[in-house]
Amino acid sequence: MLDYNVPGGKLNRGLSVIDSYRLLKEGQTLNDDEIFQASALGWCIEWLQAYFLVLDDIMDNSHTRRGQPCWFRVPKVGIIAANDGVLLRNHIPRILKKHFRGKPYYVDLLDLFNEVEFQTAAGQMIDLITTLEGEKDLSKYTLSLHRRIVQFKTAYYSFYLP
């Protein structure tokens, strides 16, 4: 399940963490520990995205993701994919605990991931209630609404979080 859902994208969210850290260090070279920690945070974001995508595909009844069948459409997976999404999400605090528990900003990391997950879920809700199955009314789908969906559903975890 992990090999199917976590890697495979462009990994730009995770790599953005390392790039952002380099920018914050104002050109100073990152040591091995700093690269490892930034990479661990980057992978947490990639796991978060995998969680969002697995559940989004189920909610949207999608057929493909990244050129292959959506996880829930893989034979013998089906609705078990919902639990797989929950497992993906629940590994994030475990990774954070393993690598950051002793850091003074550990609780801030947990809070940040929780807040970004809430913002993304709010964007998903706006998207879902705007495009209800059988009630597709494009007159409700304004540019302002589209911006709100993009801001909440994608931008927080894609740009703000890294």
Q: How far apart are CA 152 and CA 125, in angstroms?
A: 10
Q: How far apart are CA 140 and CA 156, in angstroms?
A: 23
Give pLDDT, residue 75: 94
Q: Are 108 and 141 in contact (CB under 8 A)?
A: no
Q: What mean pLDDT value characterizes the chain?
A: 86
- DSSP letter at 147 equals H
- DSSP letter at 155 equals I
Is residue 134 pLDDT above 60, yes or no? no
Q: How far apart are CA 140 and CA 155, in angstroms?
A: 22
Domains of the chain: 1-160 (1.10.600.10)
- Tell me the average pLDDT across 25-33: 86
Give pLDDT, residue 133: 60
User: Quick one: tokens of 89?
Assistant: 């999400």
Q: How far apart are CA 91 and CA 84, in angstroms?
A: 11
Model's pTM, two decimal places? 0.84
Residue predicted with more confidence, 82 or 136: 82
**pLDDT tens string 13-24:** 777 888 888 888
**pLDDT tens string 39-60:** 899 899 989 989 999 999 998 8
Give pLDDT, residue 26: 85
Give pLDDT, residue 6: 84
